[in-house]
Structure 1
Amino acid sequence: GAAGGLGAGLMAFTTCKMRQGVDIAIEVTKLEEKVKSADYIFTGEGGTDFQTKFGKTPYGVAKLGKKYHKPVISLAGYLGEGIDSLYSEGFTAIFGIIPGACDLSTALKNGPSNVARTTENIVRLLNF
């Protein structure tokens, strides 16, 4: 993408180093310290699929969870091809939040309530 092209250009003409955004976010937010003391880790993205393991934030979060033996629960607007390979990478469970077929506009409009409903159901299960 454009960010990769810009980064490559900067690396060619300066002394900068390329870093994944998730690594910077983990460092700036001190997420690793928070993961160490967490009972459960929740993460998510608009869509989870085979591309998730190519530097997306939920993948970085899952790797941290795996490092500290913490369960990582991921929520996604949709689930695509290749999610089965993510379980060995640190994801404990992956949930799609959209309850039925709908157009993108409806999915986005109902996103907050769909996240809340799915999270409530997960927490109910964890507290059983």
Structure 2
Amino acid sequence: GLGAGFLAFSCCQMRPGAEIVIEESRLAEKLAGADYVFTGEGGIDFQTKFGKTPYAVAQEAKKAGVPVIALAGQVGKGSESLYEAGFAAIFGILPGVCSLNEALEDGAANLARTSENVARVIKASRSDLQ
């Protein structure tokens, strides 16, 4: 609706939001020399391939040969299809079944716990860090 109005009455162009985020964050430059890329979303599933920013990040990182680790509030059906799209690993951060309010309230702690565990896996797999 609104986008069509802008197109009809101004000199603008429509672009996917993920494309703008990639460009404005200068992700391609930041990938040079990176060991890993971390991205996230509230929920990751088969629909992530259809315009969500984590997918665009994975595509850019795949071009640069940098593995992508995704963290999500929940990991849904079809998420395994994202591995061929450039995701090296996908982690859900919730410790168990909870309400949306609990998930939001404990989001920072859940993300920190999961991030620590991911870092421990990376450290354990790299002999040069031990």
Q: Same fold (TM over 0.5)?
A: yes
Matches of 2:7 and 2:108, distance apart in 1? 39
The one-character-per-residue Cα deviations of 1:38-88 (angstroms, maximum 9, x if unpaired) are 101000010001221111111111001111111100000001111111111
Amino acid at match of 1:21: G
Q: Does 1:123 align with 2:108?
A: no
Amino acid at match of 2:27: L
Per the alignment, residue 40 of structure 1 pairs with 36
Supply the RMSD in Å over aligned alpha carbons. Answer: 1.1
Per the alignment, residue 9 of structure 2 pairs with 13
Equivalent of residue 86 in structure 2, options 87, 90, 97: 90
**CA 39–19 in structure 1, closer or farther in 2 if over 3 Å, else same:** same
Matches of 1:20 and 1:37, distance apart in 2? 27
Structure 2 length-normalised TM? 0.90
Alignment size in residue pairs: 124
Structure 1: which 5+ residue stretches go unaligned? none
Q: Which runs of 4+ in 1 moved over 6 A?
A: none
Structure 1 length-normalised TM? 0.91
Matches of 1:15 and 1:81, distance apart in 2? 40
Identity %: 59
